[in-house]
Chains A and B, each alone.
Chain A
Amino acid sequence: MSTALLLVLLAIGLPWLGALIVWWTGDQRPRLQHTIAVAFSAAAGVAAVFLLTQTSPDVVGYKELPIWGRAFGHITFVADGLGVFLAVIATVIGSLAVIFSIDYMKGEHQLGRYYAFVLFFIGAMVGLVLTNNILMMFFFWEITALCSYALISFHNDDPKAVAGGIKALIITQVGGVGLLVGALVSANVFGTFEISEFLANASMEVNPVPLTWMAFGCLAAAAAKSAQFPFQTWLPDAMEAPTPISALIHAATMVNAGVYLLARFYPAFEEVPYWTTAVVAVGAITALMAAVMALVANDLKRVLAYSTVSQLGYMVYAIGAGGVLASQFHLFSHSVFKALLFLGAGAVIHAAGTRDMRQMGGISKQMPLTRNVFIIGALALAGIPVLNGFWSKELVLETGLAHGPIWAYVIMLIGAGLTALYTFRCVTMVFFGEAHSEHHLHEAGPAMKTALIPLALGSLVTWLAFGPFSEMMKNTLPFHEIETEGTLEFVTKIVTDPYTMLTLFVVTLGLAAWCFRSKLGGLASALKFLGDAAQASFGFEWINRGIVSITQWCGETLRGTQTGLLNWNTAYIVGALVIVLAILLMGA
């Protein structure tokens, strides 16, 4: 067994083993459960970090082991840059979320179920990004959906949590059908379950129709998983989950799986007609729409959720414009600063006991550390230099300008301004202004701090890793065309680019709009219709509800056919006989 394979198996297996152990430990020993969860997630993190030294485009795994067999492909992995870096994010941020949970989930019931699913999720996420078998990818994909559902509705007594969980499950599963189609096409048309073989063989000249189906199927799957247009509605409702879960699953890792999927298959799909345009459009529409919704939301976690949707839109847009590296670099930055924001928000919510930003305010003195790290995250989100979000967003926009359509670039630029606007609005409402609650708020606990500080540092410095990051991607992704640059060159390029100034100007505009909001009253009332539409999620909730009620109505109406009368039941038999006979006679 090669070192790479061993580390892959450890990074998947350790959390899963931990999940079993923490489940068997039983809820009578919460301290032990906390310890086990931290130990196993940290161990997986160590394994994943070591994997960074083993990146290569080689396929490792068990081609001979008859566990999966013919109809399922083989158990294979590929520890290339794309996968390993996501595995590191999943395990490291996973460990931090688990550490954060020690304080956040203190005294909660059924910790075993909580930690078991968190650890199960971490392992599955690592598997999803490292496997080279498309069915295994689908397998892990669905496990992450299962864990996400189970954790969103962790508080099963709360009907909103249950509804949010089921909604997330169903919507991602509807999109998952797209990935299913992709896997079926790969297995049947291209005759392989191995993603690397597929990427080597796929071409528009040989199998144009199946490849088109697969490309758009994967786009649907990615959009559902990454909460992109038109599937974006599940993510805000998923905020009923405990906050560490929102940070881990719904900001830093699982929602990135869609972007990862697009990035992984980009070389095969880029030639499919209209595919890149569709990807750009999905990304741009989502980025703008979600930014507007973030502007009018009052629930702190929902604001962050909309901003996640919006930032994921940037990544999708980057892929559509051919910038796989840019999208992954932004993904990297976003995972760090958004996990930080969510965990910071978690600390605030834990202390304030509410998620409504209108009830907060004036707590900056009582929670100085939380405030400071939250502001670091917010500045990164807004794209203020020199935080990591600035560099990656610039890279995305620059790639988009160079290779993507200009209309999309304009949309993304407006989006950047809106991002700054809603970020400052959020920070002001939460930390500054007048205090709304009388009682004294306590600062985050030690475990929470342990999780927040590394993420805050990360938001400050991860952009320095651009050089090695691009180098790793270039060296280990044989099917992707990636231009590598040293960090210094990269920085010089961004700083000297005139369009950077344009972006910064737009961001400043957003900031200014918030500062002088009282003077812009006329504009605000002119745009009120937009705000109302955004409050109503631009009609998507209405469509969702419509589909659900139509299905329910069909079910209820159909129940009328179950008359319970024996005469009718025999009539069905006679009727079926007549119909089958008629069909057979016509067919013959």
Chain B
Amino acid sequence: MQNWLWMIGLPIVAAPIIYVVGRTFRPGDGTKAGINPAMWVALLSLLATGFFTYQAWTAYIADATLETSIGMVALRADGISFLMATAILVLGSMATLYSGPYLAADEGQEKFYALLTAMIGMMIGLSCARDLFNLWIWFEGMAIASFPLVAFYRRNPAGLEAGIKYLVQSAAGSILVLVAIALVYSETGSLAYDGIVAASGRSLPMLAAGALFIVGFGVKVAMVPLHTWLPDAHSQAPSPISAMLSGVVIEAGLIALIRSLGVLQSVSNNWGVILLGFGALNMLVGNLLALRQTQVKRLLAFSSLAHIGYILLGIGVAASSYYFDDLNTGFFAGSGSFFHILTHALMKGLAFLAAGCLLYSLYISRGSHEPLTKNDLAGAARRYPLEAFGLSVAVLALGGLPPLAGFMSKWQIFVGSFMSGNPWIIGLVIFAAFNSVLSLGYYAPLVNLMYRHEPGEVVLAGKPTPWLMILPVCLLALAVVVLGFWPSLVQPLTDVAGFSLLQLFGFVR
């Protein structure tokens, strides 16, 4: 087994071990439910994965080709894989660390950590897949691991409802993908990306396959109107899982979508245009739906729709490079989108984790599964200064205010897209900018509420937050601020990812 494959294999191998460790753990006297050691094993395996990823990265930028086939399974790491792996591992380890105290009182923790780690492995695998069926397997594996995680509170009716909705829609989407794969296979006789690209041409079944890919993966990406599962699942899942779902899982779905559309590059020139259309729809609908929400996590879930819209804008422009004079447009817009995937993982992860801190302190630690509403936040900063600060940083960054990371990544998407000179795309950029302003209409009141002087009753009755939950919040907040001042810190990653995107669509060799 080649060394670099450990960045995919390690979490998957570690998952059963984590399960066994967690299963054998017996909390001592029962009065003090401690953190399950499975968490530490999971964290350790993620850090080790990070180490292997870093090694693979150094090899990759030294011009090594990281490509392996195990039987039918063809894998190759490219820029997109490394960008996704970074986002997944950073957010994944933060979420794991955070889950320790968050779930300390719940049963079934061994399953939680095992599934979370497995899901992380599946997502990294997904971003490295080199043939369509293989892509589907990773995608389905990720989905299967995430279903029980969403419905983790299995005595909570709302959680179960969200879980089953997520499952049914996700499964329906994945079947559409399968049908698309069958269509592609029957037309081209190949499943490998390169083979399909070589053998495909404009034909009705291939176009149909494209539509099926868009809608099938689109369910997972939560493109409007396929998004209906997202607010339920993201708001009902345990907060670390909400962070993962919003921060990386839907983006992993997006990676699957652009990989499959890239394979169909010679079928149509308009994949990018369709993505742009969905992008516009996502921004507007996501922001408008979030505007009147009263539950914090549901509001954040809807804002994910809007952010998928911004990401689709850059990716759509890159995929439309047929229409532009030079490739710089696509490169800037595409790498901007990847930058936004990264910053969105940090910002939305931070938002859900910080909101989760408050949810934990105000409700969960008192044995309640009530949702955290906006009004509960009133005066939260007085008792929970770091948590409130983290949530404020997150929502203001999501709203695109400097000096926070969201401003910089949005700017890069805008500058790349604007470069196209196409009036429609320029219009879309301005539309996106106005949407960003609109989003402040629901982010800003959250901040105002938290910094009220008089804490509400709920806040006064709350319990303290464990420091192990505050630590990831602080680290992520720091990252969001640092990237706001120093956007080119991750430029090596986003650059190669943008280049890989152009490669994927066949614009560069």
**A–B: direct contact at CB < 8 Å:** yes
Chain B residue nearest to A582 (CB atoms) is: B211
A2 on the interface (CB 8 Å rule)?
no
Which of B176, B292, B454, B485 has the largest count of A CB atoms less than 10 A from its CB?
B292
Check if B433 sits within 8 Å of A180, measured CB to CB. Answer: yes
The distance in angstroms between the C-alpha atoms of A70 and B448, with both chains bound, is 36
Docked complex: B217-235 residues within 8 A CB-CB of A: 218-219, 223, 225-226, 228-229, 231-232
A53 to chain B, nearest CB (A): 29
Check if A166 sits within 8 Å of B411, measured CB to CB. Answer: no
B154 on the interface (CB 8 Å rule)?
no
Check if A169 sits within 8 Å of B449, measured CB to CB. Answer: no
Check if A109 sits within 8 Å of B453, measured CB to CB. Answer: yes
Using Cβ atoms and an 8 Å threshold, which residues of chain A touch B440?
166, 169-170, 173
Which of B219, B411, B434, B454 is the one whose CB lies under 8 Å from A573? B219
Check if B411 sits within 8 Å of A135, measured CB to CB. Answer: yes
* B interface majority secondary structure: helix
The distance in angstroms between the C-alpha atoms of A573 and B176, with both chains bound, is 10
Question: When A71-B416, A577-B176 are in contact, do A554 and B288 touch as well, CB less than 8 Å?
Answer: yes
Using Cβ atoms and an 8 Å threshold, which residues of chain B touch A180?
414, 433
Which of B219, B277, B412, B434 is the one whose CB lies under 8 Å from A71? B412
A231 to chain B, nearest CB (A): 13
Check if B407 sits within 8 Å of A142, measured CB to CB. Answer: yes
Using Cβ atoms and an 8 Å threshold, which residues of chain A touch B26?
none
B449 to chain A, nearest CB (A): 7
Using Cβ atoms and an 8 Å threshold, which residues of chain A touch B436?
173
B253 on the interface (CB 8 Å rule)?
no
Using Cβ atoms and an 8 Å threshold, which residues of chain A touch B176?
573, 577
Question: How many positions in chain B have a CB within 8 Å of any CB in the partner chain?
Answer: 76
B366 on the interface (CB 8 Å rule)?
no
Check if A562 sits within 8 Å of B211, measured CB to CB. Answer: no
A interface, size bucket: 35 or more
Chain A 558-588 interface 0/1 with B at a Cβ cutoff of 8 Å (1 = within): 1101111010111011011100110111011
Using Cβ atoms and an 8 Å threshold, which residues of chain B touch A577?
176, 211-212, 215
B104 on the interface (CB 8 Å rule)?
no
The distance in angstroms between the C-alpha atoms of A370 and B335, with both chains bound, is 58
Which of B168, B274, B449, B453 is the one whose CB lies under 8 Å from A580? B274
Using Cβ atoms and an 8 Å threshold, which residues of chain B touch A71?
332, 335-336, 411-412, 415-416, 487
Segment touching B, from A55-63, A149-157, A508-516? A149-157
Using Cβ atoms and an 8 Å threshold, which residues of chain A touch B268?
584, 587-588
The distance in angstroms between the C-alpha atoms of A581 and B436, with both chains bound, is 30
Using Cβ atoms and an 8 Å threshold, which residues of chain A touch B412?
71-72
Using Cβ atoms and an 8 Å threshold, which residues of chain B touch A181?
430, 433
Check if A551 sits within 8 Å of B288, measured CB to CB. Answer: yes
B280 on the interface (CB 8 Å rule)?
no
Docked complex: B386-413 residues within 8 A CB-CB of A: 396, 401-403, 407-408, 411-412
Check if A69 sits within 8 Å of B291, measured CB to CB. Answer: no
Chain A residue nearest to B219 (CB atoms) is: A573
Segment touching A, from B105-113, B202-210, B239-247? B202-210
Q: What residues make up the interface of A, taking CB atoms closer than 8 Å to B?
A: 66-72, 109-110, 113, 135, 139-140, 142-143, 145-146, 149-150, 153, 155-157, 162, 165-166, 169-170, 173-174, 176-177, 180-181, 184-185, 187-188, 551-552, 554-556, 558-559, 561-564, 566, 568-570, 572-573, 575-577, 580-581, 583-585, 587-588
Q: List 6 A-B contacts (CB under 8 A).
A: A66-B488, A67-B488, A110-B453, A139-B403, A180-B414, A188-B415
